[in-house]
Structure 1
Amino acid sequence: MNSIPNAQPMANTFFPLFLFFLLFHFPSLSPAKLQLNFYSNSCPQAEAIVRSVMHKAFIREPRSVASVMRFQFHDCFVNGCDASMLLDDTPTMLGEKLSLANINSLRSYEVVDEVKETLEKVCPGIVSCADIIIMASRDAVFLTGGPDWPVELGRLDSLTASQEDSDQIMPSPRANATSLIDLFSKYNLSVKDLVALSGSHSIGKGRCFSIMFRLYNQSGTGRPDPAIEPRFREELFKRCPHGVDENVTLNLDSTPYVFDNQYFKDLVGGRGLLNSDETLYTFGETRKYVRFFSKNQSAFFDAFVEGMSKMGDLQSGRPGEVRRNCRVVNGQSVII
């Protein structure tokens, strides 16, 4: 396993990205001890249980599985795939749930809680929360009409979390294609991986908060982003006027409950919701992949699976455990 020092800091919106790349290290891509069918002997029902609980969550609230699907990105980019993002704050630790990228954005933690509780009844102390995130993310894609694929498992759960690391690593909705390419390259993820993985926005919703600058002050001009298609812009003005509750949500693409390539078609049409989405079409190096995926859903699915698998291999090399409760390390009590 390739290990890293504390995978601290990617520049947040207030710090230049290049300073971060010069100063800090990232998780490495490594198979660690991951393998297919990891729980075939210790908990043979594990993957079926995860899919069953995810299916029930999808029936209750379709948006919830989109939320869980994005857990993999928010977890793996911050010190590797170790379920650090699931830890609640403690008196001595500020976790990642209230970080800039996660607060008022990530949701449906209770779905993972339900998965874990079910697994603990059948196979106590066996299945890690980090592996649950990987399985649940895969199942969220499949349950909404996307591809299915085998996942390698065997991760351990972290013993700590860091709000600071999440703040400094996770990109902003304002990110442009250049900064995103630089970030992904530090994880050995290609431009194609970046565009394909951005297709996770094929399902789910975003907040007015994330687009207000695009609508009213793009690049400090006091005007909307000219890349926004005029009719779509008028629709956004109505949904997100000045003074609106900025937690009001909007669809990330025009088929928010179906995992398909409509996201890329929307980008081509100037109907990308987030700046970090539309920039993939307005920037030359990424545009070719947006166009390709908009015309070839099968190719998008294949590239998405490849990107998710590579991202799932990110490991920090730090000590870990299999948590009994995904919100706390073993030996600690849940603070109510």
Structure 2
Amino acid sequence: MASYKHFSVFLYAFVFAAVVSTAYSSLSPDYYDYSCPNALSSIRSVVEAAVQKEQRMGASLLRLHFHDCFVNGCDGSILLDPSPSIDSEKNALPNFQSIRGFEVVDEIKQAVDEACGKPVVSCADILAVAARDSVVALGGPTWEVRLGRRDSTTASREAANANIPAPFFSLSELISNFKSHGLNEKDLVVLSGGHTIGYARCATFRDHIYDDSNINQRFGKELKYICPKKGGDFNLAPLDRTAAQFDSVYFSDLIHRKGILHSDQELFNGGSTDALVKRYSYNSKAFHKDFAKSMIKMGNIKPLTGSKGEVRLNCRTVN
């Protein structure tokens, strides 16, 4: 009887491990190798052209992938336009009149479908690959994107409002938010490093420069010329001093109290993440390496695979 129980426990553990392994490995870097071997090169060509034309587009494509994964997993739901059945995430507070890059995604989708001869690559996978290629185009690290995601047939503005980290979040709120998505403090710091590229709207940093004390006074004064107390909500400021280059300057800026967003400066404000910010400020190699790892980890947040979801014919609408 004892040996039978031992065998049952062993069998259960084996089956459980197999299920977990299968769920985690359902995404694969070579998912399209046979169905569309030119898929990734097609995505890269469009992204490189878009970033060369407008460097800000690199940050926009990276941000699209972030905001997509933080709602109901990396399922392309952020790309869906409003309709009678779709409460579009494009209208959520973190995205409305702020998120960009949808036209480039449309261009990528067209190019990939032509290369494949039919719709094979999901819009969710396009976002994941485009985010990686954008980082590379701006001098950042590369990584193997795990593929095989399928596209959501729904979207949720409410979920987007609730799950996308806000620029006014405290450190504890940021940690809690990332933890709810299976990401730890290291992931929080290193993925926030994505703010080494791109720009922020005045409306997202006004409270920080006028109300917070943990900001370099001269830096704050400079930002006030860009962002008055009233009006100018869409005026832009670079998220770090080298906004068109993927480097570690973002972390150096935080150490000198020059974080644009309240949530950015919270990462270096006497809390548990200070040490990581210091490390990445002088070790760009470590930042690049860890960023790649965390991007892979984020890309695995609740993907739709197998028979779930669909491969959209048009990234803006369900089939």
Question: One fold, TM greater than 0.5?
Answer: yes
Q: 1:329: which partner in 2?
A: 318
Q: 1:61: which partner in 2?
A: 54
Quote the Cα distance in structure 2 between the aligned partners of 1:128 and 1:106: 20
Q: CA RMSD in A?
A: 1.4
255, 276, 282: which is aligned to 2:269? Answer: 282
Residue 244 of structure 1: CA displacement? 2.9
1:204 aligns with 2:203: no
Quote the Cα distance in structure 2 between the aligned partners of 1:257 and 1:232: 19
The higher relative CO (CA closer than 8 Å, separation ≥ 6) is in 1
Q: 1:132: which partner in 2?
A: 126
Contact 2:80 2:86 in 1 (8 A): no
Residue 188 of structure 1: CA displacement? 2.1
Residue 242 of structure 1: CA displacement? 2.3
Q: 2:241: which partner in 1?
A: 254
The residue type paired with residue 139 of structure 2 is G
Quote the Cα distance in structure 2 between the aligned partners of 1:309 and 1:39: 17
Q: 1:313: which partner in 2?
A: 300
Quote the Cα distance in structure 2 between the aligned partners of 1:269 and 1:51: 36
After superposition, residues 85-164 of structure 1 pair within 5 angstroms as 85-123=78-116, 124-164=118-158
Any idea what the Cα deviations from partners look like across 1:201-252, whole Å, max 9, x if unmatched?
0000000000111223xxxxxxx31111011011011111123321011100
The residue type paired with residue 119 of structure 1 is V
Quote the Cα distance in structure 2 between the aligned partners of 1:293 and 1:153: 29
- What SS is found at the alignment partner of 1:97? helix
Any idea what the Cα deviations from partners look like across 1:181-216, whole Å, max 9, x if unmatched?
111112221111100000010000000000111223
Aligned length: 295
Contact 2:151 2:304 in 1 (8 A): no
Residue 317 of structure 1: CA displacement? 4.9
The residue type paired with residue 195 of structure 1 is V
Using the size of structure 2 for normalisation, the TM-score is 0.90
Quote the Cα distance in structure 1 between the aligned partners of 2:280 and 2:196: 12
Contact 2:86 2:156 in 1 (8 A): yes
The residue type paired with residue 92 of structure 1 is S
**Structure 2 spans left out of the alignment, 5+ residues:** 1-22
- What SS is found at the alignment partner of 2:237? strand
1:81 aligns with 2:70: no
Identify the structure with the greater helix proportion. Answer: 2
Residue 101 of structure 1: CA displacement? 0.9
The residue type paired with residue 235 of structure 1 is E
Quote the Cα distance in structure 1 between the aligned partners of 2:226 and 2:181: 36
- What SS is found at the alignment partner of 1:198? helix
Contact 1:177 1:283 in 2 (8 A): no
39, 59, 63: which is aligned to 1:46? Answer: 39
